[in-house]
C-alpha cells in the first residue's frame, strides 16, 4: 500500500508540474503579445480550460486531496488568484489594439536607458569613499 501511494504521489507531482509549466508558458505568451505587438491576445481566457485548470477542475485536486489534504488545501487557496489571472487577460484583451508601431524598439530603448542608469548609479556608489 505504501508503495502504491508513493507511486500515485509521484504521478500527481508530475501532473502538477506539467500543469504549472503550462501556466508559465501561458504567461510568456501573454507577455509576447506586448513585445511582438501582436494583433490579438490568443492565450486561454477561461481558467478552467488552461493546463492548470484542466488538472485542477478535472479531478487533480480531488486526487491530491486523497493523498495529501494539506497540499490540496494549499492549492485550493490558489484558485481565486488563478481565476483572477485569467480574468485579467480577458480584460487586457478587450482593450488591446495592435497600434503600437515600434513598441518592441521603444521598450528596448527604455530598458537600455534604465540599465545604463543603474550601472552608472552602481559605479558612483562603489567609487564613493
- Cα–Cα distance, 112 to 100 (Å, whole number): 19
Please tell me the predicted confidence (pLDDT) of residue 51.
84
Q: What is the pLDDT of residues 74-117, one digit of tens each?
A: 888 889 989 998 998 898 888 887 776 777 777 788 888 888 88
Answer yes or no: is pLDDT of 128 > 80: no
Assigned C-alpha cell, 57: 477542475
Q: What is the pLDDT of residues 62-73, one digit of tens each?
A: 988 988 898 889
Residue 73, CB half-sphere, CA atoms under 13 Å: how many? 3
Give the mean model confidence (pLDDT) for residues 7-28.
Answer: 84
- Cα–Cα distance, 45 to 86 (Å, whole number): 5
Task: Answer whether 0.85 is exceeded by the pTM.
Answer: no
- Give percent above pLDDT 90 in the chain: 11
CA distances from 11 to 6, 7, 74, 78, 88 (A): 9, 6, 18, 21, 31
Look at the block and give the residue holding cell 484558485.
79
- Cα–Cα distance, 89 to 80 (Å, whole number): 14
Read off the pLDDT band of 2 (50, 70, 90): low
Amino acid at each position: 500500500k505504501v508503495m502504491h501511494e508513493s507511486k500515485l504521489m509521484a504521478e500527481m507531482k508530475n501532473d502538477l508540474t506539467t500543469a504549472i509549466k503550462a501556466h508559465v508558458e501561458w504567461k510568456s505568451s501573454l507577455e509576447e503579445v506586448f513585445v511582438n505587438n501582436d494583433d490579438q491576445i490568443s492565450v486561454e481566457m477561461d481558467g478552467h480550460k488552461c493546463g492548470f485548470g484542466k488538472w485542477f477542475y478535472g479531478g487533480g485536486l480531488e486526487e491530491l486531496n486523497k493523498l495529501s489534504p494539506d497540499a490540496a488545501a494549499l492549492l485550493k487557496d490558489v484558485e481565486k488568484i488563478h481565476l483572477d489571472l485569467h480574468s485579467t487577460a480577458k480584460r487586457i484583451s478587450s482593450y488591446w489594439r495592435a497600434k503600437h508601431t515600434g513598441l518592441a524598439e521603444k521598450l528596448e530603448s527604455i530598458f537600455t536607458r534604465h540599465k545604463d542608469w543603474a550601472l552608472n548609479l552602481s559605479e558612483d556608489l562603489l567609487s564613493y569613499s
